[in-house]
Amino acid sequence: MTARTFVCRCEDVTLTEIERAIAAGLIDVEEIKRYTGLGTGPCQGKECLSALGRLLVARNLIAPAALRPFTARPPVEPVTFAALAAGATEHPEEPSP
């Protein structure tokens, strides 16, 4: 592994950037996500989250049993606005003041 090893390929987050977050005292997956942007791209962490968890456990920063994934954000896979618009149960509201 090198300093240019990419952990999150969607958001180009490198191992070095994760090391910097840990050096800043951030050891919770939610805060590392928000410090580095890891897991906020199109795959939503499907690739990088387990790598991050493994790293935190290997460093003894968290007990394996305490490790939790970050909050899942719908939709599971990207969906077009057109498909979602077709699912509207009410018509868009008429203009109001």
Partner 1 sequence: MTVAMGRADTPLPADVDVAVIGGGIMGLGLAYHLALLSGGKGKPPLSIAVIERSYLVSGASGRNGGGVRMQWGDAGNVRLMMDSIELCKDLAQQLGINLWFRQGGYLFLARTEAGERRLERNVQLHGEVGAPTRLLTAAEAQAIVPQLDVAEVRLATFNPEDGVVFPWAFVWGYAAKAVERGVVLRTHTSVVRVEPLAQGFALHLHTGEVVRARRVVNATGAWSGALNRQLGIDLPNRPHRHEILSSEPLKPFLDPLVVDLSSGLYFSQSTRGELVTGISLPDAPDGSDESLTLHSSLRFLTHLSATLTRLMPITAAMKVLRQWVGPYDVSPDGDAIVGPSPGHPDFIQVCGFTGHGFMMAPAVGRLLARWLALGEAHPMLARWSPGRFAAGGVARREDMIIG
Name the 3-class secondary structure at 7: strand
Residue 63 engages partner 1 in binding (rule: CB under 8 A): no
Does residue 7 contact residue 33 with C-beta atoms inside 8 Å?
no
Report the C-alpha gap between 61 and 67 in whole angstroms. Answer: 10
Report the C-alpha gap between 66 and 64 in whole angstroms. Answer: 5
Residue 88 engages partner 1 in binding (rule: CB under 8 A): yes
Residue 64 engages partner 1 in binding (rule: CB under 8 A): no
Q: How far is the CB of 26 from partner 1 (least distance, A)?
A: 6
The CA distances from residue 73 to 29, 51, 68, in Å, are 15, 19, 15
Show the tokens assigned to 97: 């003041």
Q: How far is the CB of 65 from partner 1 (least distance, A)?
A: 18
Residue 28 engages partner 1 in binding (rule: CB under 8 A): yes
Q: How far is the CB of 81 from partner 1 (least distance, A)?
A: 4
**Interface positions with partner 1 (CB under 8 A):** 20, 23-26, 28, 30-31, 34-35, 37, 40-42, 44, 71, 73-75, 78-82, 84-85, 87-93, 95-97
